């Protein structure tokens, strides 16, 4: 229409007007409409004289569209991003899960650091300046053990010790007993010592040739062993040896151990004895071995001394052993404390082999392995006599004539050592554990 306030292009259309229904036109139109509504408010746009629709409603004028540059028209429209739903963020389960995860992460971090630091300190050198022996009582718990070790100066971190026990699952492996800890022992070394039961090993040594009464006296004097001894064991039933034991072992247990060891050793030796021996039982073997044990302490002489006694038994000769005289006089006390008197040589006792025939009724001491083996496997010799040679050993002879020469030689040595007349009533050249001389 000529004279219209809207310019018309050559094609009869507004150059800034898009085809109705196109997407760009709808977008721009919606934007312009929203702008106009904010500007004009909700007032009625009908003016007097304005055209109305057939139903009397005012007709809406088309909105003016502000022209844009070609570059602006080509730019994409900005679209508002959707807002995050605040209801989900405020959900208590979400907040609880987030807090729980953070807590677990924090605990794991603290636990890892604690483990690394604790492991390093667990293996560090300890405070102990010198070797220490600690006795852990029976039925002690983890806490009692840690407190005891702290009091004794073995450790200085009892709670770390407890933690190590729990971490290593060693609670059931802790053992009571007497333990020796090295200087600067770490917590791990201390725990290993206790869990592995590396208790202190004590030694009890029984010399060969002691009587049962003498052995019992030594057991009673030992302050590591416990308990009382009911009865003195029979002579010859205890094996002289060095026995290892731990604190808390009773004296009766030690006796039982020595007896069991003696039975085992004696049976082994008896089973491999020479076949032509003039002894008929294990008891006779022990009895003769006890005499050999008391006669000589030199290892290289035992088989020869045993051979002399066995040869005399074969020829029905009296053994004539001085230690049997002493045992007949003092019994299990073991020593006479003085030389044998001449009258005592002829004194009749069940054990005096100067008087009785053959072996005495039982052992006169507890022989060791070597003496037992010497009797079971003696030297191959025809010797029937031996006497002390004055140097700690013995002089052996096959016949009485040679033996008398050996005795005379011993008398001369004794005279040089102690000049003067022999004491009246004493048996010259005789005393405890002196070899027999044929009469």
pLDDT the model gives residue 164: 87
292 and 189 housed in the same domain: no
186 and 207 housed in the same domain: no
404 lies in some domain: yes
41 lies in some domain: no
186 and 299 housed in the same domain: no
pLDDT the model gives residue 41: 47
pLDDT the model gives residue 81: 65
295 and 380 housed in the same domain: yes
284 and 406 housed in the same domain: yes
211 lies in some domain: yes
312 and 394 housed in the same domain: yes
* pTM confidence score: 0.68
For the chain, the domain total comes to 3
386 and 407 housed in the same domain: yes
pLDDT the model gives residue 36: 52
For residue 213, the enclosing domain spans 203-264
3-state secondary structure the chain: CCCCCCCCCCCCCCCCCCCCCCHHHHHHHHHHHHHHHHHHCCCCCCCCCCCECCCCCECCCCCCCCCCCHHHHHCCCCCCCCCCCHHHHCCHHHHHHHHHHHHHHHHHHHHHHHHHHHHHHHCCCCCCCCCEEEEECCCCCHHHHHHHHHHCCCCCCHHHHHHHHHHCCCHHHCCCEEEEECCCCCHHHHHHHHHCCCECCEEEECCCCCCHHHHHHHHHHCCCCECCCCCCCCCCCCCCCEEEECCCCEHHHHHHHHHHHHHHHHHHHHHCCCCCCCCCCHHHHHHHHHHHHHHCCCHHHHHHHHHHHHHHHHCCCCCCCHHHHHHHHHHHHCCCCCCCEHHHHCCCCCCCCCCCCCCCCCCCCCCCHHHHHHHHCCCCCCCCEEEECCCCCEEEECCHHHHHHHHHHHHHHHHHHCCCCCCCCECCCCCCCCCCCCC
pLDDT the model gives residue 417: 76
323 lies in some domain: yes
pLDDT the model gives residue 45: 46
326 lies in some domain: yes
353 and 247 housed in the same domain: no
Which residues of the chain register pLDDT less than 70?
1-68, 71-90, 109, 111-120, 419-439
Q: What is the CATH number of the domain that holds 156?
A: 3.30.1490.480
295 and 405 housed in the same domain: yes
pLDDT the model gives residue 428: 37
38 lies in some domain: no
181 and 252 housed in the same domain: no
296 and 401 housed in the same domain: yes
């Amino acid at each position: 229409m000529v004279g219209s306030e809207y310019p018309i292009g050559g094609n009869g259309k507004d150059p800034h007007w898009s085809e109705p229904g196109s997407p760009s036109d709808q977008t721009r139109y919606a934007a312009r409409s929203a702008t106009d509504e904010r500007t004009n408010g909700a007032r009625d746009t009908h003016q007097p004289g304005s055209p109305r629709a057939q139903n009397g409603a005012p007709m809406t004028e088309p909105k003016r569209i502000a022209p844009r540059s070609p570059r602006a028209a080509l730019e994409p429209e900005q679209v508002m991003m959707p807002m995050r739903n605040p209801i989900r963020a405020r959900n208590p389960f979400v907040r609880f899960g987030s807090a729980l995860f953070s807590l677990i992460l924090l605990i794991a971090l603290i636990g890892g650091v604690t483990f690394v630091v604790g492991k390093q300190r667990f293996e560090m050198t300890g405070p102990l300046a010198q070797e220490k022996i600690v006795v852990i009582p029976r039925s002690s718990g983890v806490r009692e053990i840690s407190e005891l070790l702290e009091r004794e100066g073995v450790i200085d971190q009892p709670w770390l010790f407890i933690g190590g026990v729990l971490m290593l699952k060693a609670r059931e492996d802790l053992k009571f007993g007497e333990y020796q800890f090295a200087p600067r022992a770490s917590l791990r070394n201390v725990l290993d010592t206790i869990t592995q039961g590396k208790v202190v090993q004590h030694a009890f040594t029984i010399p060969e040739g002691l009587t049962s009464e003498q052995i019992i006296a030594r057991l009673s004097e030992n302050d590591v062993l416990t308990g009382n001894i009911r009865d003195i064991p029979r002579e010859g039933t205890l094996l002289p040896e060095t026995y290892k034991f731990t604190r808390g072992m009773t004296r009766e247990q030690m006796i039982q151990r020595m007896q069991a060891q003696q039975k085992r050793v004696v049976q082994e030796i008896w089973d491999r004895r020479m076949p032509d021996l003039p002894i008929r039982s294990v008891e006779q073997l022990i009895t003769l071995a006890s005499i050999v044990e008391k006669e000589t302490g030199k290892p290289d002489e035992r088989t020869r001394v045993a051979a002399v006694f066995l040869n005399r038994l074969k020829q029905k000769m009296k053994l004539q052993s001085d230690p049997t005289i002493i045992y007949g006089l003092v019994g299990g006390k073991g020593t006479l404390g003085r030389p044998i008197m001449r009258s005592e040589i002829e004194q009749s006792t069940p054990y005096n082999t100067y008087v009785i025939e053959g072996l005495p009724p039982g052992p006169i001491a507890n022989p060791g392995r070597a003496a037992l083996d010497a009797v079971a496997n003696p030297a191959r010799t025809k010797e029937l006599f031996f006497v002390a040679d004055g140097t700690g050993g013995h002089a052996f002879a096959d016949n009485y004539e040679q033996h008398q020469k050996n005795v005379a030689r011993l008398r001369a040595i004794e005279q040089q050592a102690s000049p003067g007349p022999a004491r009246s009533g004493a048996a010259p050249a005789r005393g405890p554990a002196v070899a027999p001389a044929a009469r």
